[in-house]
Amino acid sequence: MMKKYFIFLVLGFLFSCSQKNENENSRPNSDSIKVSETKKELPGQSEITCPKCGFKKMETMPTDVCLLKYTCQGCRTVLLPKEGDCCVFCTYGTKKCPSKQ
């Protein structure tokens, strides 16, 4: 009789623990909500937008060179800077490259 009670006790505990884990995993993390609601640009980062497909990606800008070619991950188009711009960040980015700032 004691063994059956112990088994039910252990199974009940394990079941309640698995329910807690499922509830914690199904509930959205408050940190992930904040990140998805507001896109924060870190210093040295710029969001490049492809003019062909509109795909946007946050990229880290190099501080020592100008990036002359960038391949869009959405449509695989190779982006080149427009005439008068030194790099793809100056043409397609939300921020100018470090040499222009």
- Per-residue pLDDT of the chain (101 residues), as tens digits, is 555 555 555 555 555 554 544 444 555 554 444 444 445 556 789 999 999 999 999 999 988 888 999 999 999 999 999 999 999 999 999 998 877 66
Half-sphere exposure of 26 (CA within 13 A, CB side): 6
Q: What is the pTM of this model?
A: 0.56
Spell out the domain ranges in the chain.
2-37, 45-92
DSSP 30: H
